[in-house]
Amino acid sequence: MAPDRAGPAAGRDLSKPHHLPNLRPGREPPDKSWLQGQRRGTTPQMIGRYPDFDVLASSASWDEATTKVVLARLHLADQFRFFAAGELATLRAFCDVTVAQDGEPRVPVPEMIDAKLAAGRLDGYQYDGMPDDRDAWHLVLTGLDEVAEDRYGQPTFAACDADAREAIVGDLARAQLSGGSWEQLNVKRAWSVCMRMILAAFYSHPWAWNEIGFGGPAYPRGYMRLGPVSTLEPFESAGATSEDPARIDAGDGA
């Protein structure tokens, strides 16, 4: 059954980066203690609300082409073709902050973004007044390093401590960065460009599917349960907990 979303969190704009400490009372990190340790399969940081679910257990039901595409995401070579060596630490730190990955195993978001940009697989549109998405990424990473130096005296964004990194990303999300490389960007649009690719990469990976209980590709298997949302397919798994993460992250309780 879907969690009850009524209460103080109802009506909140969940598109905003509420997980960032500078937007929470006392700048406290999200409390992940309510999440279960993963017992089957792999999830980011080995926590999730479906501890006995492994989407790869269903891979025998996928067709050959689907299986090849999905499994390739598990074996990405640590070879970057788009981003320069000097950008990688900042890229990794930025991706970690935005999807709250602070330990292993991590979904290889930087590698997936690099592969997409290197192959020129862009999204088919570009915001008016913005440079090419590939140029925007370079400018954003340079801009993060510039803010780290100006504010904190650190040579790169990655060299900042966790609080500083999250404060900088919070200002990026609110389009409150200016000067230097940011003058070449619409900062609000730059945030959208980056998050579009980061989230697409994260949620296309089987480890993220395990974390959210997603059953994976439906072709050619299809779906057979056409009743209430709470009716599970044979390949789906009930969550070990029913808390609403948006309410918990906002400090509103379960």
Domain boundaries in the chain? 45-217
pLDDT reported for residue 37: 77
**Six-digit token pair at 19?**
């997980």
pLDDT reported for residue 150: 98
The pTM of this model reads 0.78
Are 5 and 63 spatial neighbours (Cβ–Cβ below 8 Å)?
Answer: no
Q: Read off the pLDDT of residues 65-97 as tens digits, 9 standing for 90 and up.
A: 999 999 999 998 778 999 999 999 999 999 999
How many percent of the chain have pLDDT more than 90? 58
More confident residue, 222 or 20: 222
**Six-digit token pair at 45?**
């940081």
Q: Read off the pLDDT of residues 101-155 as tens digits, 9 standing for 90 and up.
A: 988 999 999 999 999 999 999 989 999 999 999 999 999 999 999 999 999 999 9
Q: Read off the pLDDT of residues 206-235 as tens digits, 9 standing for 90 and up.
A: 999 999 888 888 777 767 666 666 677 676
Longest dimension (CA), the chain: 58
Q: Is residue 16 over pLDDT 90?
A: no
Cα–Cα dist 86/73, whole Å: 24
**Six-digit token pair at 143?**
């801009």
